[in-house]
Chains A and B, each alone.
Chain A
């Protein structure tokens, strides 16, 4: 009872201090801002979707879009093959990944259609910062083998190791053909 009387006295004091009209206006404005902030928050989180048309994307949609853009940007610089060609039913391709490793794929490589590609492959492989190569479901043409041998010889002079990631049968092939190079590291994937 005493607390109720004290509270009522405080409200009366505040009303008396500001005036009833001003207090009502202030409360209305605060309420309005509060409501606006709530609406903005809801729109930020959930977005606005009118009859299936996205007017304002939700947070989830924005995050996905950012992720997609990032992935496209990355693919532009890192994942786009340096060479790709459909040969028969197969794709022959390679790319230098982030300037540190190379990937090589394709079963139908041949010196007729891919002679220029072999030159490009060797040029990229011989870049100083390329220190590994991965064979992805691929044949290992003798022209690629020649390029690897050259790379190993260069790295041997620099006392550096070169790593090749491959499957078991490729490992057997590479270990017998490149057995003279002690700086070759073969990793089965």
Chain B
């Protein structure tokens, strides 16, 4: 499925930056099912809109895909809501636990995230870097699980 940003039933794909600015709109919604959707979303929201917002959306969407999930990214004023859809209850439970553990680590850790132990292991070097970079910018991340195997990750500016 391709990324479609809906805004009061209006598709905004392909329109220029001023038209998708949140100054006039209430929210933007992007469905993310693959990396092309991420690219489309990043093209649409544009760095000029807000560097931090761009970063948060990018990291949340990529985290979701790296864990082999799909979902949506909704952008409202100063807030990004990432709804992750899991395959089944078991998958939902395992990944929610993993995420909450990762969040706890990122929130409690005030030290350097690179400790020199992962030379040559690209994945381990980058693991958890996205969430901690969001927290370091002064954003707050809250998670809420829903009954239909979904998790809502809400990132808001402190």
Enumerate chain A residues within 8 angstroms of B62, measured Cβ to Cβ: 110-112
For chain A residues 111-157, which have a beta carbon within 8 Å of chain B?
111-113, 118-119, 122, 137-143, 145-147, 149-150, 153
Question: Is B35's beta carbon under 8 Å from chain A?
Answer: yes
Interface assignment of B112: CB less than 8 Å from any CB of chain A:
yes
CB distance from A78 to the nearest CB of B (A): 27
Q: A112 CB to closest chain B CB, in angstroms?
A: 3
Q: How far is the CA of A138 from the CA of B48 in the complex (A)?
A: 10
Known: A142-B126, A145-B129, A173-B52. A110 touches B137 (CB 8 A): no
Contact residues in B for A90 (Cβ distance below 8 Å):
39, 42-43
Q: Is the CB of B43 within 8 A of A142?
A: no
Residue of B42, B65, B116 touching A139 (CB-CB under 8 A): B42
How far apart sit A150 and B122, CA to CA, in the bound complex (Å)? 11
Query: Is A71 on the interface with B (CB-CB < 8 A)?
Result: no
Q: Tell me which of B65, B112, B114, B136 contacts A112 (CB under 8 A).
A: B65
Residues of A within 8 A of B58 (CB): 109-110, 139, 141
Answer yes or no: A176 CB below 8 A from chain B CBs: yes
Q: Mark A75-100, 1 if CB is under 8 A from B, else 0.
A: 00000000000011110000000000
The residue from B40, B43, B113 contacting A149, defined by CB atoms under 8 A apart: B113
Contact between chains at B133 and A108 (CB < 8 Å): no
Contacts of A147 in B (CB 8 A): 125
Q: A169: CB under 8 A from chain B?
A: yes
Do A146 and B55 contact each other (CB < 8 Å), given the known contacts A110-B62, A113-B39, A139-B42? no
CB–CB B35/A146 < 8 A:
no
